[in-house]
Amino acid sequence: MGSDKLTQIPTQEDDPPNPTTALLSFNTTTTHHPPRPITTTLLLVTLLLTTAITLSAALAFAFLFFSSTTAEATSSHTPISHFSRPLQKLTHPVVILVSSDGFRFGYQFKTDTPNIHRLIRNGTEAETGLIPVFPTLTFPNHYSIATGLYPAFHGIINNYFVDPINGDSFNMGSHEPKWWLGEPLWETVANHGLKAATYFWPGSEVHKGSWSCPAKFCMNYNGSVPFEERVDTVLSYFDAPSSEIPVFMTLYFEDPDHQGHQVGPDDPEITDAVARIDRMIGRLIKGLEKRGVFEDVTIIMVGDHGMVGTCDKKLIFLEDLAKWIEIPKEWVQSYSPLLSIRPPSGYSLSDVVAKMNEGLGSGKVSNGDKLKVYLKEELPGRLHFSASERIPPIIGLVEEGFKVEQKGSERKECGGAHGYDNAFFSMRTIFIGHGPQFARGLKVPSFENVQIYNLVTSILNIKGAANNGTSSFPNTVLLPCKSI
Exposure of 446 by Cβ count < 10 A (0-12 exposed, 13-18 middle, 19+ buried)?
Answer: middle
Is pLDDT of 9 > 80? no
Listed in sequence order, the residues at least 6 apart from 451 whose beta carbon sits closer than 8 Å to its beta carbon are 148, 469, 470, 473
Question: How far is the C-alpha of 467 from the C-alpha of 248, rounded, in Å?
Answer: 19
Structure confidence by residue, pLDDT tens digits, 390-430: 999 999 999 999 999 999 877 777 899 999 999 999 999 99
Angle between helices 268-290 and 227-236 (to 10 degrees): 20
The band of 105, judged by pLDDT with boundaries at 50, 70 and 90, is very high
Mean pLDDT throughout 248-267?
Answer: 97
CB 254 within 8 A of CB 277: no
**166 by DSSP, 3-state: which?**
coil
- Percent of the chain topping pLDDT 70: 83
pTM: 0.83
Structure confidence by residue, pLDDT tens digits, 18-63: 332 332 333 333 333 333 444 444 444 444 555 454 545 444 444 4
Mark residue 264 as left, alpha or beta (left: phi above 0; alpha: psi -120 to 50; beta: remaining).
left
CB 132 within 8 A of CB 101: no
Specify the length of the chain in residues. 484
**97 by DSSP, 3-state: which?**
strand
Strands (E), 87-185: 94-100, 124-126, 161-162, 169-170
Q: What pLDDT does 27 receive?
A: 34
Got the DSSP string for 219-232?
EPP-TTS-HHHHHH
The band of 183, judged by pLDDT with boundaries at 50, 70 and 90, is very high
What is the Cα 304 distance to its own chain's centre? 10
CA angle in degrees (0–180, nearest 5) for 143-337-430? 50
Number of H helices, E strands in the chain: 11, 18
Is pLDDT of 71 > 50? no
Please give the backbone phi and psi of residue 370, each rounded to the nearest 5 degrees, phi first.
Answer: -95, 5
Question: How far is the C-alpha of 337 from the C-alpha of 351, rounded, in Å?
Answer: 23
The band of 80, judged by pLDDT with boundaries at 50, 70 and 90, is low
Backbone CA torsion sign across 157, 209, 205, 238: negative
Question: How far is the C-alpha of 331 from the C-alpha of 394, rounded, in Å?
Answer: 10
Active site positions, annotated: 138
**Strands across the sheet containing 394-398:** 332-334, 338-341, 394-398, 371-375
Is pLDDT of 163 > 70? yes
Per DSSP bridges, beta strands 124-126 and 431-434 are antiparallel
Got the DSSP string for 25-91?
----S----PPPPHHHHHHHHHHHHHHHHHHHHHHHHHHHHHHHHHHHHHHHHS-S-SSPPPPSS-S
Structure confidence by residue, pLDDT tens digits, 439-461: 999 999 999 999 999 999 999 99
